């Protein structure tokens, strides 16, 4: 059994997995988890150097090959190119993880059109583009699964990250829409709402200092700030045969943070006061 995993090593033996935003952070954690449970994995993101580094680290650490392609989810041409690459490599696709995202702190009143568009184009429009491009490959599989990564403000307010909140809310709606539209193709579509994971992007754009991270942790009843490996277990579950009756739903794995309050509101007020 893989280290720290509750699942059998061969759970995804022979399965073909595509992960966007897979070169760093949670995306790379998802990719390595699938590889360690027998799957073949392709990751994509915008930066070639990060993809090369991810593949090298994975090879060194686990002795497994991680395929990769550069892709910008904002550019449909590159999305179609990667879909064609997957078709040439595998002809079909069992699992798609829409993980590519962007976020930063900005009050709506001072948010530029470009700032709004940058996040919505990656999170919402990107999820649409990739899902649509991969649909012909997914429907060829006997039973396929999509997991979209959202956030625990998707169904509530998202103060000071309104662009991300609106986009994630759209992804949640899209998740449920596709779950119904693609059910006859044996494609399950679910969402994962992860807890706070201090990836490099999160540290750079959201957790601006230790006090900010502490504010978020104070709002987590169980488990505290988590890690990519633990979140990968949730994704594995949603894509596993054990979840074959689950579609159009979301798995909230944030330690109960969403029940307590909105840390972004407290953090944002402090940010503005300063």
At 55, is the pLDDT very low, low, confident or very high (cuts 50, 70, 90)? very high
Task: Give the span between the Cα atoms of 77 and 58, in whole angstroms.
Answer: 28
Q: Establish if 239 belongs to a structural domain.
A: yes
At 2, is the pLDDT very low, low, confident or very high (cuts 50, 70, 90)? low
Task: Give the span between the Cα atoms of 147 and 70, in whole angstroms.
Answer: 21
Q: Looking at residue 207, what DSSP letter applies?
A: -
Q: What CATH number corresponds to the domain at position 61?
A: 3.40.50.720
Q: Establish if 111 belongs to a structural domain.
A: yes
Q: 238-273 b/e with 16+ CB inside 10 Å = b? A: bbbeebeebbbebbbbbbebbeeebbbebbbeeeee
With CA atoms as reference, report the closest residue to 17 among 253, 236, 249.
236
Q: Establish if 64 belongs to a structural domain.
A: yes
Q: Establish if 210 belongs to a structural domain.
A: yes
Give the CA-trace dihedral at 77, 118, 207, 70, to 10 degrees: 10
User: Which parts of 21-116 are beta strand (E)?
Assistant: 40-45, 67-70, 95-98
Q: 84-104 b/e with 16+ CB inside 10 Å = b? A: ebbeeebebbbbbbbbbbbbb
Q: Establish if 74 belongs to a structural domain.
A: yes
With CA atoms as reference, report the closest residue to 125 among 95, 155, 100, 88.
100
At 205, is the pLDDT very low, low, confident or very high (cuts 50, 70, 90)? low
At 1, is the pLDDT very low, low, confident or very high (cuts 50, 70, 90)? very low
Q: Establish if 78 belongs to a structural domain.
A: yes
Question: SS3 for 174?
Answer: helix
Among 21-30, 155-164, 221-230, 238-247, the range scoring the smallest mean pLDDT is 221-230
Q: Are the beta carbons of 36 and 2 closer than 8 angstroms?
A: yes
**pTM of the complete model:** 0.93
Mean pLDDT within 177-193: 98
Question: SS3 for 98?
Answer: strand
CB atoms within 10 A of CB 229: 17
Number of separate domains in the chain? 1
Please, what's the largest Cα pairwise distance for the chain?
55
Q: Is the dihedral of CA 105, 111, 113, 114 positive or negative?
A: negative
Mean pLDDT within 9-31: 96
Among 49-58, 159-168, 265-274, the range scoring the smallest mean pLDDT is 265-274
With CA atoms as reference, report the closest residue to 197 among 226, 221, 168.
226
Q: Establish if 205 belongs to a structural domain.
A: yes
Does residue 32 carry a pLDDT above 60? Answer: yes
Q: Are the beta carbons of 36 and 24 closer than 8 angstroms?
A: no
Mean pLDDT within 155-164: 93
Contacts of 219 (CB under 8 A, 6+ apart): 257, 260, 261, 262, 263
Contacts of 34 (CB under 8 A, 6+ apart): 12, 15, 17, 19, 41, 95, 236
Among 62-66, 162-166, 208-212, the range scoring the smallest mean pLDDT is 208-212
Note the helical H segments in 139-256. Answer: 162-181, 200-205, 210-218, 228-239
- The whole domain housing 219 covers 16-273
Tens of pLDDT, residues 207-252 = 556 666 777 778 888 877 788 899 999 999 999 999 999 999 999 9
Q: Establish if 6 belongs to a structural domain.
A: no
């Amino acid at each position: 059994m893989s280290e720290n995993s509750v699942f059998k090593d061969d759970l995804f033996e022979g399965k073909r997995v595509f992960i966007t935003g897979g070169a760093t952070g949670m995306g790379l954690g998802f990719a390595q988890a699938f590889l360690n449970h027998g799957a073949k994995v392709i990751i994509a993101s915008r930066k070639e150097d990060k993809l090369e580094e991810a593949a090298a680290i994975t090879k060194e650490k686990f002795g497994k090959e991680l395929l990769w392609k550069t892709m910008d989810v904002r550019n449909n041409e590159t999305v179609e190119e990667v879909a064609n690459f997957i078709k040439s490599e595998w002809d079909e696709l069992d699992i798609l993880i829409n993980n590519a995202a962007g976020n930063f702190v900005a009050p709506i009143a001072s948010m530029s059109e470009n700032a709004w568009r940058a996040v919505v184009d990656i999170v919402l429009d990107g999820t649409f583009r990739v899902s649509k491009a991969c649909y012909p490959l997914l429907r060829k599989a006997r039973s396929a699964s999509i997991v979209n990564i959202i956030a625990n403000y998707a169904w509530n307010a998202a103060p000071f990250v309104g662009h991300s909140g609106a986009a994630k809310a759209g992804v949640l709606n899209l998740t449920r829409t596709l779950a119904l539209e693609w059910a006859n193709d044996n494609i399950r579509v679910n969402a994962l709402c992860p807890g706070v994971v201090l990836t490099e992007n999160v540290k750079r754009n959201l957790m601006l200092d230790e006090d900010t991270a502490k504010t978020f942790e104070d709002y987590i009843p169980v488990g505290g700030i988590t890690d990519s490996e633990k979140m990968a277990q949730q994704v594995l579950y949603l894509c596993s045969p054990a979840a074959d009756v689950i579609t159009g739903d979301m798995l909230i794995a944030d330690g109960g943070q969403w029940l307590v309050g909105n840390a972004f509101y407290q953090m944002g007020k402090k940010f503005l006061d300063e």
